Amino acid sequence: MKIITSISIFIVVFILDQFIKYAFVYFGWGYEGSCLSFQLAYNYGVAFSMFSFLKEYLKYIQLFLVVGGLIYLYFNKEVLKEYALPISLLFAGGLSNILDRFTYGAVVDYIYWHCGFEFAIFNLADMIINLAVAIIIYKQIFTKKDQKN
């Protein structure tokens, strides 16, 4: 049952993120607010546009990392069982952003925070990836505490 739930979460997050990005690119979605705006932007790098000089190669580097992660999970099935939810979120967000690189030549970003300070433009996949990492860290901290007790 856990595998079906994880695959379902992966599919829903992946499709939702791709639909939103498609709408920004082809339907001209956008909104200008006082603190939060939704505007189309292309990120040729990774977080905060780092490594944008590798823009043509990043999709292959990231795909290689995903394959490496899948190989690791294949040989460490207990990790997959323990972290099924965050892994499904991590792969959904990561693969969605990688698909953007193949489809649009860059990652499609659209959420822009500019209230009090300006922050990088990001997307749903980025938030999902951060959520997955936070869940993994949380589980690591509290699993170790439980093991000590």
Whether the per-residue pLDDT at 91 is higher than 80: the answer is yes
| Residue 33 near residue 115 (C-beta atoms within 8 A) | no
**Cα separation of 129 and 16, whole Å?**
14
- Are the C-beta atoms of residues 59 and 133 closer than 8 Å to each other? no
pLDDT tens string 98-122: 999 999 999 999 999 888 887 789 9
In whole angstroms, give the CA distance from residue 112 to residue 126: 12
Predicted confidence (pLDDT) per residue in 67-82, tens digit: 999 999 999 999 999 9
Q: Would you say the pTM of this structure is higher than 0.85?
A: yes
What is the pLDDT at residue 107?
Answer: 96
> Which residues have a catalytic role annotated?
109, 126
Mean pLDDT confidence for 25-33:
94
